Amino acid sequence: MRLPGVKDAWRPCNLFIQTQAGKWTIINNVRFAYGHDVIEHALLSGQAISYRFLKDEKGWRVFASTQYQEVKPITSRLAGAIGVDLNADHLAVTEVDHFG
């Protein structure tokens, strides 16, 4: 059994299982319930991923972990800002330029 690595990044999140007869079974569009976007980003960027296979009373589970790379927002007060006011009966939005 293998999950795709860097060389397979063009087809992320597919599961490949080799049978005893030597043939491959492909499970397409594997989706993790939590953190799927982080795992997908790690696959596409060539970042290391650790997989753990655990068998319990319900069956097999696959746990994947990687180091989360938080993206720092790029912003500048010189660009201005927007303000959003959420109310029960309406939504108000305003734009402010760099002069205020």
Q: How far is CA 22 from CA 2, 17, 19, 53, 71, in A?
A: 14, 10, 5, 21, 42
Q: Residue 3: its pLDDT value, please?
A: 52
Q: What is the mean pLDDT of the chain?
A: 79
pLDDT in tens, 11-40: 556 677 777 888 887 777 778 888 888 888
Name residues of the chain where pLDDT drops below 70. Answer: 1-14
Tell me the one-letter amino acid at 83: G
Going by C-beta distance under 8 Å and a sequence separation of 6 or more, which residues neighbour residue 38? Answer: 66, 68
Q: Residue 43: its pLDDT value, please?
A: 82
* Contact by Cβ (8 Å): 39, 47: no
Q: Residue 90: its pLDDT value, please?
A: 93
Going by C-beta distance under 8 Å and a sequence separation of 6 or more, which residues neighbour residue 4? Answer: 11, 12, 13, 14, 16, 43
Q: Residue 60: its pLDDT value, please?
A: 83
Rounded CA-CA distance 98/87 in Å is 26
Q: Residue 31: its pLDDT value, please?
A: 82
Rounded CA-CA distance 100/95 in Å is 9
Give residue limits of the domains in the chain: 6-65
Q: Residue 69: its pLDDT value, please?
A: 77
